[in-house]
């Protein structure tokens, strides 16, 4: 049975009280409570700094078995060196997140490219060859030029997911290039009807592969509430299908 994992991009927001976090929850317990409501989180922390082993151990200790951390690759790889000559940087980055791997709490790594990085299939091929085999990875393209059949074919070859990122500025084609699907729901607002359509889309993808989906982090609590709503709806549908199959 394929897995559905829904979360938010970040969790450390005091403004999510009291609608999501109970009013008495201290900041040091945010992750602990979050992990009782959602089964994964997308971490931006690793984009700007190398996490210490102590930090990663704290994350692991604060979350239950089965919880996953999806980490954003360091900006040195994607924004500073722009995927070129990054063999050592990729190796160093994966070494830095090994505690999550050993704790069985590492989800996909997200490589988010800058909007001004234009299509370069040869550069992408050289980069994908550096990624550890068997480790899940997704790439978020933010320049329209990357959405080509050559790119999709290359990503399928390396089992790397095209990040289906939707925002007010850009709509990524909804197609899947890996054995799992990766969604970033970044629009400024979702009505109930629009959220239902997202649920339908994720349910369709879930029939074929594992699905990860992350709702945009906002200072208001709509993000975690929407994520929890999607998670509950999709998990409930999954259980119903499982019972029917039995």
| This prediction's pTM | 0.94
- What sections of the chain are H helices per DSSP? 30-37, 45-48, 53-61, 75, 87-96, 98-102, 121-128, 149-157, 192-206, 222-245
Cα separation of 200 and 192, whole Å? 13
Q: Are 1 and 238 in contact (CB under 8 A)?
A: yes
Burial of 222 (0-12, 13-18, 19+ CB in 10 A): middle
Return per-residue pLDDT of the chain as tens, 246 residues.
Answer: 899 999 999 999 999 999 999 999 999 999 999 999 999 999 999 999 999 999 999 999 999 999 999 999 999 999 999 999 999 999 999 999 999 999 999 999 999 999 999 999 999 999 999 999 999 999 999 999 999 999 999 999 999 999 999 988 887 899 999 999 999 998 878 899 999 999 999 999 999 999 999 998 778 899 999 999 999 999 875 554 554 444
Alpha-carbon separation of residue 103 from 23, 63, 100, 151, 183 (angstroms): 30, 11, 5, 33, 24
Q: Are 177 and 162 in contact (CB under 8 A)?
A: yes
The full set of domains in the chain, from first to last, is: 4-245 (3.20.20.410)
How crowded is residue 177: how many other Cβ atoms within 10 Å of its Cβ? 21
């Amino acid at each position: 049975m394929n897995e559905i994992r829904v979360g938010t991009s970040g969790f450390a927001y005091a403004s999510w009280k009291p609608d999501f976090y109970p009013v008495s929850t201290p900041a040091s317990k945010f992750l602990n409570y979050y992990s009782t409501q959602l089964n994964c989180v997308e971490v931006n922390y690793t984009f700007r700094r190398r996490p210490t082993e102590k930090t990663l151990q704290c994350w692991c200790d604060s979350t239950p078995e089965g919880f996953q951390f999806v980490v954003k690759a360091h900006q040195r790889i994607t924004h500073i060196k722009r995927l070129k000559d990054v063999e050592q940087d990729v190796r160093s980055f994966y070494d830095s997140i090994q505690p999550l791997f050993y704790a069985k709490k590492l989800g996909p790594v997200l490589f988010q490219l800058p909007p001004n990085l234009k299509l370069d299939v040869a550069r992408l091929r050289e980069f994908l060859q550096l990624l550890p085999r068997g480790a899940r990875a997704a790439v978020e393209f933010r320049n329209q030029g990357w959405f080509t059949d050559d790119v999709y074919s290359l990503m399928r070859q390396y089992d790397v997911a095209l990040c289906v990122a939707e925002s007010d500025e850009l709509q990524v084609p909804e197609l899947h290039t890996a054995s799992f699907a990766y969604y970033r729901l970044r629009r400024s607002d979702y009505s109930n009807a629009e959220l239902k359509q997202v649920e339908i889309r994720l349910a369709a993808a879930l029939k074929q592969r594992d699905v990860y989906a992350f709702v945009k982090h906002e200072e208001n609590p709509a993000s975690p509430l929407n994520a929890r709503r999607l998670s509950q709806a999709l998990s409930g549908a999954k259980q119903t299908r499982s019972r029917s199959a039995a």
